[in-house]
Structure 1
């Protein structure tokens, strides 16, 4: 490090002395900001432009050196970082580095971060700099549509000791397209809480608690334009997700609180998502031209509140009143919002083998029956936002659109998925899904730390593969999800089975290794898929389709079969 400082110290001092004295314009207006640590010592503002340049303004509560950058997994080894600060004599230092291993820091031959300023006051150091999303330097990590792992390290003086500094890491989605300042708040609005009331969380690792609540009673059409989580203090690590489902007005709903998917099936009624929150998420405000409608004869009057608790430490005596606060207004917007749930139907025929470095699963939706299920022709779906969801083994999610057997493109994806950051993300541009299009959801899982099969299910230690697409105008379709023919997979793995239950049980007899993992992955991709389509109405609850062999380029559909009774 001393060689580095001696080389650039004098040069940068003269360069930036000229810069400071020349009367430069104020720092650019950056739309996005967040604290990167629990104690609010590290504050980041950032933005990106059409030239694929991202600007960062980092303020750290220290008068020493500051390091900031990108990490593959949230740790220093493999990180792409910049180090900067202000010496006691007022000269500044700033350079692009990479961390080779737990003991080696190297300066990049290619300096791809452009410094705009480094300043220091009595308490803080602030660095303003920018870089291209992709630098073509093998030592730099690309900024993509995936979740980024940001890392910040700093010291109390200007002797850089990167492996001894105070370190924070945080997962963050950097490629945002709409900030709160881009949204227009209505002049008149009301708030309404949909929450549990002093619910005694059981001493169980996983609990899905459901209750049915009325929506606000209004005499004319209103729009829910914003929502935010309301988490009971000290329960933030307990609450895994919160979902609000709209109920059809013909539904006969139970009272009280019960297990959502337990012995009483009535507590699983209502499947059309209105709003949702999961670990790491924050508040969300719909675009200015669309919101969720309430108050008309076609709108729901009741909703199902679902809260998933993960009480891994089996703590007793926990009381929770968490839920969601909605903001609604009589100033109605042009479009009514809907949410389409896609992915793999959460059923144990979806399984992930143990010991897999990478295992991909697929869930297919075909919208050709949407008109029949909806009761009227379904207009084009204009998708403006999405929420991706897996559990702990998930490493990536990709949602792809097909039309007439040809891939149109990727709707959304996150190849660096982080379970601790599940949030609604806006699309860069509105994407149109037409009736008859296919939607393929692909999830990538890793189970190197597991010795047994992971089946799909409600527990955090089970798995899911879901994508929630926010669109307008709203229709009655709640979800469209697929799952593979488990018998086909079992037979490819040379296991005997005559029905789905035996097919699932047969997976326990497979000798799982790299070869059988890849064989199972290929078989699950090639297997026929059953697609389940649900609507907000109680009857008929769903329809099913048998789907032909899949590939990433071609999807062939076969005959429909009657809905189950």
Structure 2
């Protein structure tokens, strides 16, 4: 009798006890939001729980028909994951986890992994709210990861589930944002300062890099820059590709006016230490509350180089621009002075990508063993908290990997679904430490099936780059650490006789780029000795060499078995699976992990109730 009563008590308390931790129930506020179409018809809110690996979406569409939200790939909508729902004229709701068999045909998943939290329709909107695991055991469900996610949204004008391409939209979003701007402190004494070009006539060229040198704010004591955002002038088309702000060493002699950053006057390429940057698709970024860019002390830069990359592919005449970067700074000092370390492949034509490549990997090595020597003073351990990834149009994926004593330590950051049109500064889930002597490797993945000639490293959007910017503290004087392969070795491996780097680069044009030669070139670039170039804010350059280490892939974690449907045996992937957390009720998708026994017994006077009941039973 006692055991039965205890079991009933535990069951009752499990259902009644409040969930300990973040709970995204049917009425919880969702922190993130985005319109998914240009006409602002489709509005998405979302939030997630990293511990339980559950993400919640709320889709609101201006329609009285069905609505759908899911995920797709870069290349095809066939196989896309789509959750659909709506409200029938009689008030009944329908809701289903489906996938696209081809570009247009929907089919219900065998495992229903999306759990409905609410579905309503009024005179204006249909609103659907549901949750799902980051990674279910259903192969028809796309994983929610820290990569760029291509969100697929669709709707109908009535309740007939049929895809219409005019009402189907795809938008790239970084869903697992770690820090929300509202969680950060915005000082009351904030001062705003704009670093911008003024009425610059954009040349009628495909690519222009415009540079000018501007003073930072003059302050009588130390301040910290804690936020930046792009200041963009709207034109008929997007012409600004990226904006970078480089800190100048105080001994630099700087030119005046505006000129080509990398043209005839080499003075306009001075200053190479990036302090803030924006690229296509990015928005504002506020640093964590304990870091900032120091200005106002004798050690801080007084001038910056503002670089704006324009892409005027339609060669439009008479377009003037006054874009730039807006910075926010405060006298309310943070704990750490931050810096930016630029990694990747040194940007010049020795970096090449063959045409017609389904896949081609490039590598840039950084060796930190000389950081202290070139820095001039001891370099404390670097604490990395954020990053910005950058390639051009052929880029498909990037990652930065850390090695210590010859052993792979961790992947610092990556994006296996990189989108050129969504380049933004992202926070790491946890801060990562880089010690003197560590090696850092950047790998960039390209695809050039749409090209019939070589793509070389360079500034134009149709050239390529392979760069990762690490945001870290405490600041040191190292601005960049990048590598490139010995092109002479690569040429020899491809059967070309060359005697210097220039000949090696030109010899790439003589190669017949068959799939076999593409793979041979990739292997040669990986096995060639890497030339590593380290630069400081004062333009001091140190060269060293190294070899590309192997990258060990990180296995995926276990998938989450659905609590809303069956899991077929073939759906249980080799990485394993785990049961879904117990639902609190049939209408709620809030999840429950193991509640402590003490919480069950002591909550709401349960212990006293139990003792009294047991005494009666005895």
Whether these two folds match at TM > 0.5 is yes
Which position in structure 1 is the counterpart of 2:40? 40
Per the alignment, residue 133 of structure 2 pairs with 132
- Maintained 8 Å contact 1:526/1:551: no
Residues of 1 paired with 2:301 and 2:231: CA distance? 22
In 1, Cα distance between the equivalents of 2:413 and 2:103? 35
Looking at structure 1, the residues matched to 381 and 440 of structure 2 have their Cα atoms a distance apart, in angstroms, of 14
1:551 aligned partner:
550
Tell me which residue corresponds to 1:294. 295
Shift in CA distance, 495/550, structure 1 to aligned 2, threshold 3 Å: farther
Checking the alignment, whether the CA contact within 8 Å between 2:344 and 2:467 is kept in structure 1 is yes
Deviations 1:72-123 (A, max 9, x none): 1275322100111111211111101100113421111110101100011211
Q: Does structure 1 retain, via aligned residues, the 8 Å contact 2:81–2:98?
A: yes
Measured against aligned partners, the alpha-carbon deviations of 1:142-163 in whole angstroms (never above 9, x if no partner) come to: 1112111111111122222223
The alignment's TM-score, normalised by the length of structure 1, stands at 0.92
SS of corresponding position for 1:507: helix
Distance in 2 between the 1:117 and 1:551 partners?
A: 48
Say whether 1:518 aligns with 2:519. Answer: yes
**In structure 1, distance between residues paired with 2:297 and 2:177:** 33
1:31 and 2:31 are equivalent in the alignment: yes
Alignment of 1:109-120 (within 5 A): 109-120=110-121
Q: Which residue is equivalent to 2:344?
A: 343
Instruction: Write the mapping of 1:375-414 to structure 2, written as runs, cut at 5 A.
Output: 375-414=376-415
> What CA distance in whole angstroms lies between the structure 2 residues aligned with 1:550 and 1:491?
22
In the alignment, the residues of structure 2 paired with residue 519 and residue 25 of structure 1 have an alpha-carbon distance, to the nearest angstrom, of 54
Task: Give me the whole-angstrom Cα distance separating, in 2, the residues matched to 1:548 and 1:464.
Answer: 20
CA distance in 2, matches of 1:474, 1:91: 60
How far residue 45 of structure 1 moved from its aligned partner, in angstroms, is 1.2
Shift of residue 27 of structure 1?
1.5
Q: How much has 1:361 moved relative to structure 2?
A: 0.5
Pairwise CA RMSD: 1.3
The whole-number CA distance in structure 2 between the counterparts of 1:39 and 1:512 is 44
User: What pairs with 1:223-262 in structure 2 (closer than 5 Å)?
Assistant: 223-234=224-235, 237-262=238-263
Aligned to 2:470: 469
Shift of 1:175: 1.2
CA displacement at 1:195 relative to structure 2: 0.4
Q: How far 1:42 sits from its partner (Å)?
A: 1.3
| Length, aligned pairs only | 528
- Residue 172 of structure 2: SS of its match in structure 1? strand
Contact 1:151 1:169 (8 Å CA) reproduced: yes
Inter-partner Cα distance in structure 1 for 2:165 and 2:52:
37
Could you tell me how far apart the structure 2 residues matched to 1:439 and 1:548 are? Answer: 11
SS at match of 1:491: helix
- Give the match for residue 556 of structure 2: none
Corresponding residue number in structure 2 for 1:557: none
Change in Cα spacing, 1:345 to 1:313, as seen in structure 2 (3 Å) is same
Q: Which moved more, 1:256-265 or 1:166-175?
A: 166-175
Question: How far has the Cα of 1:278 moved from its partner?
Answer: 0.1
Cα 1:471/1:492, change in 2 over 3 Å = same
Matches within 5 A, 1:387-536: 387-536=388-537
1:546 deviates by 1.7
Cα gap change, 1:238 to 1:384, in 2 (>3 Å): same
Unaligned runs of 5+ in 1: 1-23, 554-565
What is the rounded CA distance, in whole Å, between the counterparts of 2:128 and 2:294 in structure 1?
A: 45
Q: Hey, what's the Cα distance between the residues in 2 that align with 1:164 and 1:461?
A: 29
Task: Deviation per CA, 1:348-407: give whole Å up to 9, x if none.
Answer: 111001110000000000011111111101111110000000000000001100001100
User: What residue ranges of structure 2 are gaps of 5+ in the alignment?
Assistant: 1-23, 553-618
2:507 is paired with a residue whose SS is helix
Range 454-463 or range 116-125, more displaced: 116-125
Counterpart-to-counterpart distance in 1, 2:97 and 2:33: 23
Higher Rg of the two aligned structures: 2
The aligned counterpart of 1:353 is 354
Superimposed CA distance per residue, residues 38-90 of structure 1 (whole angstroms, 9 cap, x where no aligned partner): 22211111111111111111111112110110001275322100111111211
Aligned pairs for 1:75-94 within 5 A: 76-94=77-95
Higher relative contact order structure (alpha carbons within 8 Å, sequence separation ≥ 6)? 2
Kept in 2, the 8 Å contact 1:200–1:319? The answer is yes
CA shift, 1:165, in A, is 5.6
**1:303-318 equivalence runs, <5 A:** 303-318=304-319
1:10-37 CA-partner distances (Å, limit 9, x unpaired): xxxxxxxxxxxxxx97611222111111
Rounded to whole Å, the distance in 2 between the matches of 1:550 and 1:55 is 39
Q: Is the 8 A contact 2:100 2:106 kept in 1?
A: yes
Structure 2 distance, partners of 1:427, 1:158, is 42
Deviations 1:501-551 (A, max 9, x none): 00011111111111110011011001000100010014xx21100223543
Judge which range, 75-84 or 24-33, deviates more: 24-33
Q: Secondary structure of the equivalent of 2:547?
A: strand
In 1, the alpha carbon distance for the partners of 2:189 and 2:123 equals 43
- Preserved CA contact (<8 Å) 1:231 1:323: yes
2:610 alignment partner in structure 1: none
Give the whole-Å Cα distance in 2 for the aligned partners of 1:422 and 1:41.
24
Cα distance in 1 between the residues matched to 2:195 and 2:165: 46
Contact conserved, 1:74 with 1:169, CA < 8 A, in 2? Answer: no
Equivalent residues of 1:389, 1:464 under 8 A apart: yes
Q: TM-score scaled by structure 2?
A: 0.84
1:281 maps to which residue?
282
Answer whether contact 2:491 2:497 (CA < 8 A) is retained.
Answer: yes
Name the residue aligned to 1:186. Answer: 187
Distance 1:162 1:286 in 2: 42
> CA offsets, 1:258-307, max 9 Å, x none?
00000100000001111000000000000000011101111111000000
Instruction: Give the deviation of 1:181 after TM superposition.
Output: 1.5
Q: Distance in 2 between the 1:146 and 1:164 partners? A: 26
CA gap of 1:465–1:91, structure 2 versus 1, over 3 A, is same
Residue equivalent to 1:195: 196
